[in-house]
Structure 1
Amino acid sequence: MSYTASSEKATGPTAFAPYLDAVANVFHPVAGPVMNTYGRFHGWKESMGLVQPGTVENLTRDVQQVHLANWTFDGARADVAKVVSANPAFQLTHSFSLGSTTRPAAYNFGAIFANASSFLQGGIDGTGTVTMRANQTWSPTDITKVQGQLTDKPGQSMVQIEHDHLGPHYSFSWKSMNPGVLDGTGIHIASLLHSFSPRLSLGFETVIQHPQPSILETSTSYVAKLTSLPNALAALTPSVPGQPAPFTPSWSATAQLQPSGNIQTTYYQKLSDKVDVALDLQTIVQPASMLGPAKREALATLGAKYDFRMATFRGQLDSAGKIGMYLEQRFTPAFAFLVAGEIDHAKNTSKFGVGIMIESSSMTQEEMIAAGMLAPA
């Protein structure tokens, strides 16, 4: 009996209840219709089967994974990595490169630490330049990223802070480079991408250049993304409550209208589990000015990626007559041989690079099997 009485006393009305009810009754005629309208609008969006479209920054990520811009190199390189721990992940890296006659030899030492919510990466090269990168995942919908570089070269030290918010049917990102705390100077980028149908997403990206308190310039580009139909079952059974599960489209097409009037369009298609193709078309429209005559050009780039059992091959061809390739051949899970080449027929130039990647570990074989780094014998 005493337990029941104490429970009723704890859950009974307080002295502030009449005042709270009075405040609620005052605002209900205004807030009630607004909340009901929002509820109906949210239910209507849920019934359309909208998906999470990703961020504007990763709009052409699939194309970048196929084309050679982020992969090709010239000269010689060697990457040596040592895995100290798998959970949490901790890895030390040594990178050596011997470039062409216009680029001297370089060395970089780096370290990577990662767990379920944090990612830390730092490095220092032979010139004393220090770089760092940190990602912190606060929730399935919010992630903060920080990048920095410290060097003795004037004007090349920088810090960049960004935050991504992934809503159920949209994504919003804010990025600031060398932000001024007191006067708001720096370069700021805001982007929004919203899904309007299961296949179509529209958005924009605004760049605010504020190098000095008296100078402020803004420019906005508009983006669109069209994909194949998502998997209906994945869209209706989200892995995170209130957030549709991500999906991998079999093909996607993007378009970006830049402030200068130039247009960039891309198309990516996954032909099979082992073959991807990507096409990129960029227009260059430049009016006559003191910097040079008017220019109206276009560049189309076609690339393909083939995944074999122990190798990955990328090939690329563009309308300017440039042909390139990149091969990553793994002889063992811990050793890979790299070959990259490029021929520019219009300029009569060529590039060639070879490299190796070696990965060692201080973990035992049983620990590597438990971490998924090796297949069980």
Structure 2
Amino acid sequence: MKLVVQIKLLPTPIEARALEATLCACNEAACWVSEIAYERDVRKNFALRKLTYRPVKDRWRLGAQAAQHVIKKTCDAYETLRVNLKAGNLGKPGSKRYRKATGKPIAFRPEGAQPYDDRMLSWQITERAVSIWTVRGRLKNVAFTASVEQLATLALYRRGESDLIMRDGMWFLHATCEVPEAEPNTEPQGFLGIDLGIVNIATTSDGEIMAGRALNRTRTRERTLRAKLQKKNTPSARRRLKKRRRKEARRAKDINHKIAKHVVAEAERTGRGIALEDLGGIRERVRLAKPQRATLHSWAFHQLGQFVAYKARKAGVPVVHVDPAYTSRTCAECGHTDEANRVSQAWFACRNCGFVDHADRNSSRNIRARAEELWRRGVQSITPAPPPKTGSGTGRKRSTTASGARCANPSFSEG
């Protein structure tokens, strides 16, 4: 499986200026190549290379490999645009958003990432240094920092290209690694159900509740601070906004990584699989009041699902995605489904048998039961149909399918 290892470069001021000049030159060249591709409707790599390779090398003084990567990067950008248009991610044909995306050439930011191959970048992992090509010559012994685990992964599994990235004045290399997957567990001893939520980010069927309230308080505080700074709109306020713009995302990502690591480790230790909800399209299905929308859209459940999926594949733990419909209203003991069962956000009380439990734990037990049933039936991967956009219901995590949703193939799921 492919993993991306991020390492932080520690260039000197002179080296940083050379790296910055390289990114600017490569992205300026990519913008010019993009204009040629748009005007002549040439989107294939080899055809576009015939038109632009020599001018890119001569005008921007790029090396042969750098020029080819600039052209390939442009072709990849247009391919991504084509796929998004086909999938409807940029609106319907003729819509304002669709016309905006297709009405002009793709532009590249001056600090946009630039791919490097082994001819342009060499690693001295034991010395924690790299030798990297720039428009001002090759820089040797550029220091970097990484954890022991990252160094081991780089030394054993690094394959293919790496991307040079500048973010908030810091320099990074994203190295692609081919990490072997563990032998998948085809006979799990049950499943660990995971209920995903906003108040409690993850609740397991074992009764463990992870994160949630502290993160939401921090998000609320950050939103309030951003609103004050935007309203003030002074140079110092804008500098503070720029400095803090990714802080919340980094915190959420760190928490998601920790939750995913803990969940996968627990499932691997007990020989179980992992059961998750298929929450695709929930933002389109749910209608909320304006104050609640920011909370919903900052909920990084998809990221958490991706983290769980790749860590599970690495450990050989099977992952099953089930339909979330009515998991919060169904009694895990008797199976009775009633909207009145959900007494509050935190508590569940069955109107039929009187069973009382934490609402999220009850949901996670229902998720576990559905996963075990799907696994016994050997259901193949099925993606639920998108729900019709009618009505204005605010039901929690509803879906149009009620019987199964999608299950991993007999070994694991991509998530």
**TM-score, normalised to structure 2's length?**
0.22
Q: Which has the larger radius of gyration?
A: 1
**TM-score, normalised to structure 1's length?**
0.23
Say which structure is richer in helix.
2
